[in-house]
Amino acid sequence: MKKIFTLLMALAFAGFSFAQSIIDFETVGQDWSWTIFENGDNAASLYSVVDNPDNTGVNTSTKAGKYIVNASAQPWAGLWSANLGSVTFSADNCIVKVMVFKNVVSDFDVKFENDNASVAFEIKVANTLTGEWEELIFDFSAQIGKTVTKIVIFPDFPTARTAGSTNYFDNISFNALTEPPVELPTLPIDFETGTFSFIDFDGGAATVIANPQSSGINTSAKVAQIIRNGGASWGGSKLILNSKIDFSSAATISMKVYSTRAGVPVLFKLEGDAGAQAELSVNTTVANAWETLEWDFTGQPSNTFNNLVFMFDFGVVGDGSANSTFLFDDIEQIDNTGGLSQIDLPVDFESTTVNYAMTDFGGNVSSLVEDPTDASNTVAKVIKTAGAETWAGTTIGTALGFANPLPLTSTVTKVSVRVYSPTAGIQVRLKAEDHNNVTLTVETEATTTIANDWEELVFDFSNVATGTNPYNSATNFDKVSIFFSFGVVGSDKVYYFDNVKMYGDPLGFDKLNQIDFQVYPNPASDYLYISNSSDLKRVEIYTITGQKLRSLEFISNKIQIAELPQGVYLLSAETNSEEIVTTKFFKY
């Protein structure tokens, strides 16, 4: 029976798990054999298991190990035990913690060895307190994979021995390696340093890699790569930022992108708390080269979004091939307005204070140029590049659209655009939408009648294009896009357009003398306020068809409009110098 009991104890001891157990000198370690060395006469009495000298602090256990160092001992005086058994260090047990209670401040050294000391490693950590317990931590993660059988302790390891000491140690534990917290990135992001924990979803897989396409505008060492393989058509990945984005001074996000194909839609989505989200899609324009794409989030709130979501080739399920592999880098906020004001009707491209940036998609390339027939006039030029999509178009402005909604009503339904086409008989489509809800749209078409000269096309939204949404005058149409040769694949044809305005405006407000004059809020419900109003003497309100509703002497910058029905109105103001200024407002 005694032999069986001894065997069972040996097996239990061999299976001791230091990832879970603690050498506390009460249930484990209290009967271990320790060999004392370099401590004067090395008397066995220098080590003992004793009562805890102070169980009121961080260590409330009953027992502890005690080691007395003689004044004549070597600095490396210590003790070792082979009762540790065979232990292989892993991520589950490589962090060793020891509670110490000392009457001197010095290094406490913990060392591990195998049977013949061919494997040996140690770490010194100094205590900071005397006369009370504190926990010291020894990180042996560099020794993962090594197997040891002995533990060696040097409780008081000074540079030189000048005095003896009394040392207690307890609760020797073997703990799992805890990964350091990942420091979340902040804009701008170049992927050169730091850790980036992408959250992949629905078939997207993003990683940081060495730049495999170090050329052109991007020769940086590291970039992000996303491979889309199966999953869903919206598969992608996202990064969580350290803080929410401030759009107050820079509302556009730019990013360098490398794709094997032109015309790939890159959906850039922002997410925040309580389901807040905003998204914009921009197409790649070149193949097998780096380019910088921009997503204009003008109008989005600051301090709301802290998730960047990347969805390349949105709408298509990836197949893991080169065509489903994309690179991206250098994500940053920029101010692409140059301090210019938001575009609004009428659009003539002549003002030096308006942001005329346009947004191309489907393979269009637009720019502002001299009128091909009049060098004194500035117009928009659109190239429908070779292979461009049949639906390639250009948004007149940024993704935010116009500063004010189009003054469309049930009876005022027409917008005119001056166009120049190399071919007569092509279809030109005009699309209006709500920039906050791009499913609310209306589309109509007009046909060019002459080639290589200017003509005015009139687009009647009450006559919608086949297969598109019906016209709803109650919609807040504040964004307009134009499509040349709609339905035909691009072939490098060049088109021009200018003078986008409401057709037949009864007040001709696009030609009125303009002064620094604004109304707010817009849209408004009960009251309108007029800024810079000190020079005004009379204000009149008209319907969009030109019917005068109200005329009043200007005595206050606050105008009551509560009784007006919902819709778009014109406010005309006369200054003391007989100038007339007109602006639109929306009553809801």
**How far is 65 from 155, CA to CA, in rounded Å?**
11
- In terms of Cα–Cα distance, which of 328, 289, 293 is closest to 207? 328
Last residue of one domain, picked from the residues 447, 473, 502: 502
- Prior bond to 346 cis, omega within 30? yes
pLDDT digit string (tens) for the chain, length 588 residues:
334 333 334 433 333 444 447 999 999 999 999 999 999 889 889 999 999 999 888 899 999 999 999 999 999 999 999 999 999 999 999 999 999 999 999 999 999 999 999 999 999 999 999 999 999 999 999 999 999 999 999 999 999 999 999 999 999 999 998 866 667 899 999 999 888 999 999 999 999 999 999 999 999 999 999 999 999 999 999 999 999 999 877 889 999 999 999 999 999 999 988 788 889 899 998 999 999 999 988 778 888 999 999 999 999 999 999 999 999 999 999 886 667 788 999 899 988 888 898 888 888 999 999 999 988 889 999 999 999 999 999 999 887 789 889 988 888 899 999 999 999 999 999 999 998 788 899 999 999 999 999 998 999 999 999 999 999 998 999 999 999 999 999 999 999 999 999 875 433 444 334 455 678 888 888 888 887 666 777 788 877 666 678 877 777 788 888 888 888 888 877 777 666 677 788 888
* CA–CA gap between residue 430 and residue 502 (Å, rounded): 13
Structure tokens belonging to residue 441: 């749209």
- Give Cβ neighbours of residue 40 (< 8 Å, ≥ 6 apart): 70, 72, 73, 77
CA distance 130 to 104: 6
Give the separation between CA 54 and CA 130, rounded to whole angstroms.
12
Which of 175, 191, 226 marks a domain boundary?
A: 175
Measured CA angle at 162 (ends 158, 163), to 5 deg? 95
CATH (domain of 83): 2.60.120.260
My answer on whether 562 and 441 are in the same domain is no
Is residue 530 located within the same domain as residue 441?
A: no
Q: Which residues are bridge partners to 218 per DSSP?
A: 215
Q: How far is residue 54's CA from residue 100's CA, in Å, rounded to a whole number?
A: 11
| 494 plus 560 within the same structural domain | no
The whole-angstrom separation of Cα 62 and Cα 45 is 20
> Is 411 found in the same domain as 281?
no
3-state SS class at 284: coil
Q: Give the H or E element holding residue 502.
A: strand 493-502
> CB neighbours (10 Å) of residue 25?
25
| 78, 115: one domain | yes
Three-state helix/strand/coil letters over 18-75:
CCCCEECCCCCCCCCCCEEECCCCCCHHHEEEEECCCCCCCCCCCEEEEEEECCCCCC
Give domain status of residue 163, yes or no.
Answer: yes
pLDDT for position 9: 40
Residue 325 lies in a domain: yes
Establish if 24 belongs to a structural domain.
no
CB 466 within 8 A of CB 505: no
Does a structural domain hold residue 25?
no
CA 469/CA 48 separation, integer angstroms: 89
Spatial CB neighbours of 274, under 8 Å, sequence gap ≥ 6: none
Q: CB under 8 Å to 4, separation ≥6 — which residues?
A: none
CATH number at residue 459: 2.60.120.430
Number of structural domains (the chain) is 4
**Chain length of the chain:** 588
> Is the same domain home to 498 and 525?
no
Gap between the Cα atoms of 270 and 298, Å rounded: 13
pLDDT value of position 248: 77
**CA-CA-CA-CA dihedral for 489, 490, 491, 497, to nearest 10:** 130
Residues 281, 266: Cα–Cα separation, whole Å: 5
Same domain, 448 and 422: yes
CA distances from 296 to 255, 263, 355, 360, 575 (A): 12, 18, 12, 12, 37
**What is the three-class DSSP state of 2?**
helix
Q: Is 115 part of any domain?
A: yes
CB atoms within 10 A of CB 553: 9
Question: 334 burial class (0-12, 13-18, 19+ CB within 10 angstroms)?
Answer: middle
523 & 484 share domain: no
Which of 139, 135, 123, 161 has its CA nearest to residue 40? Answer: 161
Question: What pLDDT was estimated at residue 335?
Answer: 80
Note whether residue 350 is domain-resident. no
Q: What whole-number distance in Å separates Cα of residue 129 and Cα of residue 307?
A: 45
Residue 523: asked if its preceding bond is cis (omega within 30°), the reply is: yes
Decide: 360 and 367 in contact? Cβ < 8 Å. Answer: no
User: 257: how many CB neighbours lie within 10 A of its CB?
Assistant: 25
Residue type, 236: G
Cα of 548 vs its chain's centroid, Å: 50
Q: Closest by alpha carbon to 359, among 404, 298, 306?
A: 298
Tell whether 363 and 491 lie within a shared domain: yes
Beta strands in 297-422 (DSSP E): 305-312, 318-319, 325-334, 359-361, 364-371, 374-384, 393-395, 414-421
Asked if residue 533 and residue 566 are part of one domain, the reply reads yes
Task: Name 8's Cβ contacts closer than 8 Å, sequence gap at least 6.
Answer: none
Are the C-beta atoms of 571 and 582 separated by less than 8 Å? yes
Shared domain check, 404 and 497: yes
Same domain, 305 and 378: no
CA distances from 534 to 265, 489, 515, 555 (A): 49, 55, 12, 9
Residue range of the domain that includes 146 = 34-175
- Domain boundary (269, 302, 334) is at 334
Is residue 509 domain-resident?
Answer: no
Strand partners for 348: none
In a domain, 182, yes or no: no
